[in-house]
Amino acid sequence: MSNQLRVGVLTISDTASVDAVSDTSGPSLCRLLEAESRYTVQTTAIVPDDFKAIQKTVTAWCDDLDLHLVLTTGGTGFGVRDCTPETPGITHLIFAKSVQITPFAALSRAVSGIRGQTLILTFPGSPKAVKENFEAVSKMLPHAIDLIRGGTGKKVHEKMQGGPRPSGQAGATENESTTQGQGHVSRRLRKSPYPLIPMDKAMATVMDQITPLPSVKQPVNEALIGAILDEDIVAAEAIPGYRASILDGYAVIDTDGPGEYPVTAVSIASASEGSAAKLLPGQIARITTGGAVPEGATAVVMVEDTQLIKSSEDGTREEIVKILAKVRSGEAIREIGSDVQVGQTVLRKGQIVSAVGGEIGVMASIGVRNVLVRQRPVVGFLSTGNEVVNHDNGQPLKMGQIRDSNRPTLIAATNAAGFESIDLGIAPDSPEDLEAAVRKGFEKCDIVVTTGGVSMGEMDLLKPLLEQRLGATIHFGRIMMKPGKPTTFATVPNPRGGQPRLMFGLPGNPVSATVTFHLFVLPALRKLAGYENYMWPSIQAEIAQDVRLDERPEYQRAIVTIAADGRITAQSTDKNQTSSRMVTMLGANSLMVLPGRTTERAQVAAGEKIECLLIGKLV
């Protein structure tokens, strides 16, 4: 056998077959191979997740190129029906090594087999899983290929073992030892494989993965509240569009001055096809607020500065009225365009349509019917766990059951922030059920947020699901923070192409879920929606009581108040800030940002200034 083993790397992905740039696992596998001198990558390819396409490529590589090794990554796995005999030992080795890392490896559908003199292995679709699987079998591959090609494997075996084994020596290789007892709870990981990263790095990682969504046209109505304008709004109509009276009274010619005058016309605020009759010197016209000022009139006198002198015999009309006050030209008249002129830019691109109503009011007043805004993301919420039941379940709780407070809390907060939410329900602790629920969520949502299943328990299945079944990239799985240490963020390929979907795996404890939602999910929603200032505003406040510091930076729930003298104070909502105690969120309008404990500083003393992130209204 040649010193170098010729290898083909095949990426199986519908997305990557259209956009090769999205392929990360194939290049990752090539780098792993090229890092070892015994392998040379002779050919690579990307095919869609289609059995015939996969089979055609693999068959050609085995029969025509006579490769030593074919490695596939991604897809759903394929049965090597014409590759005989199978190699269950290798398959089991990959499985065992993967299960040692994650119990979700059972869903990876690893397959290994032989066609002619070529060994074929299938790996999952994420770079992390590819690395783990390759490292599990890398040392024994030369030995296996040597045997397939008719060798005894003796030289390779001796090289792997560091020299000839003395007669009668017993033992197992490192890889062999990992195959025993895998998948049992007693063999689960005792240390997370995900590095503990600082909060600022986690936040930067999330924001680096977000590109604002494209723009859409929407009608001008209350549904616009919270949207970001993506165009300047220029007035096509003047406000007012006619000379309008500011008050109830009489339109006059200011040079006439005080005196008695006949009432020759009436102008009431209403639609009219024509213009009011022209007012001549020595005449006045009764007018209401908003009524059109007659041509020739130069001012309006309020009704309080007049006196009725004569009315019609039936009392229905004023005939002569005395003007008591001297007025100036233009008094109490809104001239055409005095509020908004034609061509005036009344709103700028990037402005938020606020709940106060001003933006909608201005657009409505100048006749804007539809406006270009940044599309707002849709977020789905999924709770996980066999123990979780709907909060409105009328049945008494069984031993071990808990009511789901996470979905109602996070959905309410999302809607209040002006974003659309979808309730994805509760997924039990089953890989199949969890996968189905997450996939269903991504059919409708730009972001899927799960609560629970991200820690180190035997039923914490989310992270392996993301890597093994969804082809996701997990950007982080632990953060140096309290609460919320196991918070997970991943990007998931979009099957329809375009921007990847975002996935947040939040802890199951209610306070941890709520705090991390405010810290990560809402800013992510704002950036997706085109907000320039998407982070929470912060304020410096005096802490009202001594607080002992934790080894991790902590986000304590607090109430920030402003006293009459302008003093800003932050008071913890409760001394016991355990992450399971949802009562610590009661009344909270801020998160106190407490630094991690050091040998020099073990507490924050009452009266010290501390940063507070404002997540609610000041009181």
Terminal Cα distance for the chain, rounded: 79
- Quick one: 116 and 84 in the same domain? yes
Least confident of 72-76, 114-118, 166-170, 294-298: 166-170
Q: How many CB atoms lie within 10 A of CB 100?
A: 19
Query: Using 50, 70 and 90 to split pLDDT, how confident is the model at 188?
Result: low
Q: Does residue 512 share a domain with residue 417? A: yes
Q: Do 115 and 131 share a structural domain?
A: yes
> Mean pLDDT, to the nearest integer, of 74-95?
45
Return the minimum-mean-pLDDT range out of 117-126, 163-172, 204-213, 567-576: 163-172
Query: Is a pLDDT exceeding 60 seen at residue 458?
Result: no
User: For residue 123, which phi and psi values (nearest 5 degrees)?
Assistant: -115, 160
State the DSSP code for 613.
Answer: E
Q: 272: domain CATH number?
A: 2.170.190.11
- Residue 194 domain-assigned? no
- Percentage of the chain exceeding pLDDT 70: 85
Q: Which residues pair with 259 in a beta bridge?
A: 323
Decide if 406 is inside a domain. Answer: yes
pLDDT band, very low/low/confident/very high, at 455 (cuts 50, 70, 90): low
Mean of the per-residue pLDDT values for the chain?
Answer: 85
- The answer to whether the Cα torsion of 52, 56, 62, 67 is positive or negative is negative
Together in a domain, 86 and 151? yes
pLDDT one-digit tens code per residue, 292-320: 999 999 999 999 999 999 999 898 999 99
pLDDT value at position 496?
76
The DSSP line for 200-255 is HHHHHHHHHT--PPPEEEEESSGGGTT-BB-S-EE-SS-BSSS-EESSSEEEE-GG
pTM over 0.75: no
Q: What is the mean pLDDT of residues 453-469?
A: 72
Domain boundary pick from 309, 334, 359: 334
Q: Examine the domain organization and report whether 369 and 220 are in the same domain.
A: yes
Model confidence at 194, pLDDT cuts 50, 70, 90, reads confident
| pLDDT in the model for residue 217 | 98
What one-letter code names the amino acid at 240?
A: P
| pLDDT of residue 174 exceeding 60 | no
Assess whether pLDDT exceeds 70 at residue 153.
no
Is 94 within a domain? Answer: yes
pLDDT at 321 over 50: yes
More confident residue, 266 or 253: 253
Vertex 502, ends 133 and 209: CA angle to 5°? Answer: 90
| Tokens 């109503």, located at residue | 357
Model confidence band, residue 199 (pLDDT cutoffs 50, 70, 90): very high
Is pLDDT above 50 for 96? no
Please choose, from the candidates 281, 461, 298, 302, the residue with its C-alpha nearest in 3D space to the C-alpha of residue 382.
461
Whether 38 and 115 map to the same domain: the answer is: yes
Establish if 192 belongs to a structural domain: no
The tally of domains found in the chain comes to 5
Which pLDDT value is given to residue 104? 42
Residues 178 and 284 in one domain: no
**pLDDT tens digits for range 332-384:** 999 999 999 999 999 999 999 999 999 999 999 999 999 999 999 999 999 99
The pLDDT assigned to 89 comes to 43
Torsion of CA 405, 408, 410, 413, to 10 degrees: -130
Task: State the pLDDT at residue 185.
Answer: 54
Measured from the Cβ of residue 211, the count of other Cβ atoms closer than 10 Å reads 11
Do 281 and 320 lie in a common domain? yes
Matching residue, tokens 């996939």: 439
Kindly state whether residue 276 falls inside one of the protein's structural domains. yes
Report residue 99's pLDDT band, with 50, 70 and 90 as the boundaries. Answer: very low
pLDDT of residue 245: 95
Domain assignment of residue 225, given as a range: 215-238+339-374
Q: Please report how the helices 127-137 and 88-101 are oriented relative to each other, as an axis angle in degrees rounded to 10.
A: 130
Q: What pLDDT sits at residue 105? A: 41
Domain C-terminal end among 281, 304, 334:
334
Whole-number Å distance between alpha carbons of 404 and 390: 5
Task: Indicate if 109 and 255 belong to the same structural domain.
Answer: no
Give the pLDDT confidence score for residue 499 in this predicted structure. Answer: 86
CATH number for the domain spanning 356: value is 3.90.105.10
* Residue 18 vs residue 556, higher pLDDT: 556
Choosing from 307, 334, 361, the residue where a domain stops is: 334
Q: Is residue 148 part of a domain?
A: yes
Which of the four pLDDT bands, split at 50, 70 and 90, describes residue 459? low
Amino acid type, 64 = D
Least Cα distance to 555 among 600, 505, 590 occurs for 590
pLDDT-wise least confident of 109-118, 413-422, 552-561: 109-118
Res 568: pLDDT? 96
What confidence score (pLDDT) does residue 127 get? 86
Instruction: Output the pLDDT for position 181.
Output: 31
Same domain assignment for residues 180 and 303: no
pLDDT at 580 (0 to 100): 79
List all residues 6 or more positions away from 364 whose beta carbon is below 8 Å from its beta carbon: 220
285 within some domain: yes
Specify whether the CB–CB gap between 616 and 558 falls below 8 A.
no
pLDDT of 36 reads: 86
Q: What is the CATH number of the domain that holds 423?
A: 3.40.980.10
Region of residue 157 (left: phi > 0; alpha: psi -120 to 50; beta: else): alpha
Bridge partners of residue 370, in order along the sequence: 219
* Predicted pLDDT of residue 429: 87
Dihedral-angle region of residue 366 (phi above 0 means left; psi in -120 to 50 means alpha; beta otherwise): alpha
- In this predicted model, what pLDDT tens digit does every residue of 528-563 receive, in sequence order? 999 999 999 999 999 999 999 999 999 999 999 999
- 227 with 279, same domain? no
* CATH code of residue 544: 2.40.340.10
180 & 116 share domain: yes
- Is residue 255 domain-resident? yes
